[in-house]
Amino acid sequence: MNDRKQIKNQRSKIANATKIVRVIARLNVGGPAKHVVWLTQGLSAPQFDSLLIAGFVPPGEEDMGYFATELGVAPLFVSEMSREISLKDAITVWKLYRLFRREQPDIVHTHTAKAGTVGRLAGTLYRWLTPATLLGRPRRCRFVHTYHGHIFHSYYGPAKTRLFLTIEKMLARLATDRIVVISEQQRREINEEFAVGRARQFAVIPLGLDLGVYANWQERRETLRKELNADANDILVGIVGRLTEIKNHELFLQAAALFKEQFGPVAARVRFLVIGDGHLRSKLELQAQASGLADDVTFVGSRRDPENFYPALDIVALTSRNEGTPLTLIEAMANARPVISTAVGGVVDLLGDPLSANNDGPFIVCERGVRVRPDDAHGFAAGLAQLIGNESLRREIGERGLQFVLAHYSKERLLVDIKTLYADLLTRGIVATHESGGKPPFPTTS
């Protein structure tokens, strides 16, 4: 009898919980995969009933499904969902629609471009394909999309980019209640520069991560350094991420070669590490050899212990052509590591204001890192030289970065922000709609 009562109580709690279906194209290595797993784990019973739906990681990309397993999250996989456009997308939309019918979500939250497209199309079907629509009562469900980055430049050619931009504009207007971006710079880019969505649809919710993993990082500084036989005086400059075109590791190697050429004596004690894997590895290894960096660059490969490899680094670099807010820089700051990065997307907000009014040089020293123009190898090499030659600057930047991340990028803050967003959606429709005098893209059904 007691067992039956307990089961009944559990079912009652689930029935009263807010049902969240979260959709991402694939759990490949990177910030978005961690983000959706943290949210799925954190938004759980009794207040929420969360389901994570993902596609499969294609060959040539690293699978991060292990991270979901470690946190006790069991995704539901849709085999037809992939990154590229294909005829299978129609099957994906139909399968997602049927899953929505079965799960009856209160909120569907999509992440990344592909999942945002198929998920919101399926959501449109789910919302309107019901007899109650004839009475003006579509299904009660809200739709949220998070841009972790965007594909509006540097990914594809002009024609394909225009197609994707047109699709995103249509989906924002017709199939999205709220649009989440992870930095103010990203909001300006997506909404103002590329004219996606209405201003009132946007919510800026920065990333959050488990900062406890990186506590007492000093105690783990020697773990990777011992593996690499790094001397105490060696300066390790590392770049962390998938070896793919958008990350632009070619620029990192070009800057390393220029640094070695221009700063010969000091360069003897500088080592460059490439942490991560991907389909460009062989090409990048050949570039390193051709650039005379065979003894200076180490391809570490993929590692699952960021709590060990970040503390080993003296400088963390990022050379991307396009980013949202890169998790690798936040993780570096959580370990008090100074960073140098191309000025793309949310990186500008992350690094903070310039420390000097003179910003005409090849690089800009900011509060929490050094900023360089995209694709500027000479500027990147000069910025590296500034950091490498100034230990006190590295220490100051690292400490400011650590305090900034502790104050703004905790997982707990992320969960509170998302809970608030969901509560507003379910109780008032689109936040601030009445304040702006506009109308929501969907009729309010709550």
- Which of 235, 225, 220 shows the shortest CA–CA distance to 300? 225
Kindly state the tokens that stand for 102: 């079965």
Same domain? 336 vs 300: yes
Report the pLDDT value the prediction gives residue 398, as an integer from 0 to 100: 98
Task: Clarify whether residues 344 and 392 are in a common domain.
Answer: yes
Mean pLDDT is lowest, of 32-41, 61-70, 435-444, for 435-444
**Which of 74-88, 255-269, 332-346 has the lowest average pLDDT?**
255-269
- Overall average pLDDT of the 255-281 stretch: 88
**Burial degree of 350 (CB within 10 A; 0-12, 13-18, 19+):** buried
pLDDT at 265: 62
Q: How far is Cα 215 from Cα 144, in angstroms, rounded to an integer? A: 33
pLDDT above 90: residue 400: yes
Of 8-17, 122-131, 166-175, 256-265, least confident by mean pLDDT is: 8-17
**Do 215 and 109 share a domain, yes or no?**
no
pLDDT tens-digit profile of 2-49? 555 544 444 444 668 999 999 999 999 888 999 999 999 999 999 999
Shared domain for 145 and 220, answered yes or no, is no
Instruction: Give me the residues paired with residue 146 across strands.
Output: 111, 180
- For residues 266 and 365, membership in a common domain is answered with yes
- Rounded CA gap, 434 and 444, in Å? 12
Listed range (92-101, 149-158, 297-306) with the worst mean pLDDT: 149-158
pLDDT attached to residue 14: 60
pLDDT band at 59 (very low <50, low <70, confident <90, very high): confident
pLDDT-above-70 percentage for the chain: 91
> Which is more confident, 280 or 137?
280
Please state whether the predicted TM-score (pTM) of the whole model is above 0.75: yes
For 430, the domain range is 14-208+411-436
Mean pLDDT over 76-96 rounds to 91
The pLDDT tens digits for 413-423 are: 999 999 999 99
- Provide the pLDDT for residue 13: 47
What CATH number is attached to the domain comprising 88?
3.40.50.2000
Question: Could you report the per-residue pLDDT of 364-393, keeping only the tens digit for each?
Answer: 999 999 999 999 999 999 999 999 999 999
Number of domains in the chain: 2
Residue 375 lies in a domain: yes
| 340 contacts 350 by C-beta, under 8 angstroms | no
In terms of domains, do 402 and 431 share one? no
% of the chain beyond a pLDDT of 90:
77
**242, 28 Cβ separation under 8 angstroms:** yes
- Regarding whether 239 and 155 lie in a shared domain, the answer is no
Per-residue 3-state assignment (H helix, E strand, C coil) for 341-357:
EECCCCHHHHHCCECCC
What type of residue is 426? L
| Mean pLDDT, rounded, for 148-171 | 85
pLDDT at position 15: 64
The answer to whether position 7 is within a domain reads no
Question: Average pLDDT, whole number, for the chain?
Answer: 90
Q: What average pLDDT score do residues 359-367 get?
A: 91
Asked whether the predicted pLDDT for residue 268 surpasses 90, the reply is no
pLDDT in tens, 404-413: 999 999 999 9
